[in-house]
């Protein structure tokens, strides 16, 4: 799917460094304005007790839905699960009898609630620490946002750059993806029974990637005005931490100058941008009679 026009807002110092060094800063989550970004607050959408009860009562339905699927969980659970599947296939009435026992509380006490609560808290902590190993470049679909110019471009003294990935060079910018805005931060697992099904029968690598994308590309509705896209790159094992990556000069195709930018900064930044990409299009921001931000080509 083709990307929409994407823009990066920068203050004056960030503009000079980004254009002069030919690199973009990729931030780690703890540098974000939204301190809860790229974090989880819980494991399940329900409280632990409710989630464990739902998992216990719904496990049989999960197995029945995957009666002919090959279990992917580790031993010895894999062998036990295969035996249960075989028994259910051999005896059509067994499922009804098992459900009756479950309804009577036959699986109550299967989980140690205190242990699971401690495990959940530890998992939340570990996941949030792990996410600090990702580096993220945030851009927006809005080049005329007053809030963005005020908040990210030094109160209109900075710039905005349009980024267009060079497909022929297999640019990493092709991997920008949109942020999904939600009422609250998502749990690690959106649905408890899907978590059970995934743990018993799912593709572990696919589940891991889906969970990571869910965390990375979710923000709360308070930030919806930003229209954000993200490029997220994890640090590799034993890789030295970094916070900048180079880009191809021709990928910076448009330069937007803030309405309050000084002439001195304007001359320096335009000169650096032209040296970077002689074909770059330059625009000057201004306000029209209604106060809306518009642009004149320079």
- Convert the pLDDT of each residue in 150-173 to its tens digit: 999 999 999 999 999 999 999 999
Q: Give the model confidence (pLDDT) of 8-38 as tens digits.
A: 999 999 999 999 999 999 999 988 988 889 9
Among 21-25, 112-116, 145-149, 187-191, name the one with the lowest average pLDDT.
Answer: 112-116
Residue 235: give the domain boundaries: 6-28+133-179+227-297
Dist CA 189 CA 38 (whole Å): 14
Q: Give the model confidence (pLDDT) of 56-96 as tens digits.
A: 889 899 999 999 999 999 999 999 999 999 999 999 899 99
How many helices (DSSP H) and strands (DSSP E) are in the chain? Answer: 9, 12
Residue 90 lies in a domain: no
Residue 145 lies in a domain: yes
**Six-digit token pair at 115?**
């242990």
% of the chain residues with pLDDT over 70: 97
Residue 98 lies in a domain: no
Residue 24 lies in a domain: yes
Q: Structural domain tally of the chain?
A: 1
Rounded alpha-carbon distances, angstroms, from residue 202 to 147, 195, 205, 223, 250: 43, 9, 9, 33, 42
Residue 22 lies in a domain: yes
pLDDT at 1: 67
Preceding omega of 223 cis (within 30 degrees of 0) = no
Residue 109 has pLDDT above 60, yes or no: no
Residue 219 lies in a domain: no
257 and 167 in contact (C-beta within 8 Å)? no
Residue 114 lies in a domain: no
Residue 112 lies in a domain: no
């Amino acid at each position: 799917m083709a990307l929409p026009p994407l823009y990066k807002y920068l203050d004056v110092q960030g503009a000079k460094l980004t254009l002069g060094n030919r690199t973009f800063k990729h931030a780690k989550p703890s540098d974000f304005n939204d301190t809860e970004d790229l974090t989880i607050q819980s494991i399940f959408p329900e409280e632990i007790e409710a989630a464990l009860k739902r998992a216990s009562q719904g496990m049989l339905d999960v197995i029945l839905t995957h009666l002919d699927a090959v279990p992917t969980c580790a031993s010895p659970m894999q062998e036990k699960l295969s035996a249960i599947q075989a028994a259910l296939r051999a005896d059509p009435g067994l499922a009804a009898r098992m459900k009756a026992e479950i309804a009577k509380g036959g699986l109550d006490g299967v989980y140690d609630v205190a242990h699971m609560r401690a495990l959940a808290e530890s998992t939340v902590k570990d996941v949030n620490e792990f996410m600090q190993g990702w580096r993220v470049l945030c851009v927006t679909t809005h080049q005329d946002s007053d809030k963005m110019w005020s908040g990210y471009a030094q109160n209109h003294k900075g710039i905005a750059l349009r980024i267009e990935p060079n497909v022929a060079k297999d640019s990493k910018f092709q991997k920008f993806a949109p942020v999904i805005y939600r009422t609250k931060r998502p749990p690690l697992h959106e649905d408890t029974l899907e978590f059970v099904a995934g743990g018993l029968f799912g593709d572990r690598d696919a589940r891991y990637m889906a969970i990571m994308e869910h965390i990375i590309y979710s923000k709360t509705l308070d930030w919806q005005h930003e229209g954000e896209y993200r490029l997220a790159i994890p640090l590799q094992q034993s890789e030295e931490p970094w916070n900048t990556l180079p880009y191809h000069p021709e990928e910076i195709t448009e330069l937007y100058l803030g309405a309050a930018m000084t002439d001195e900064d304007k001359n320096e930044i335009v000169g650096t941008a032209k040296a970077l990409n002689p074909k770059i299009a330059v625009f000057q921001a201004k306000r029209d009679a209604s106060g809306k931000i518009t642009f004149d080509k320079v």
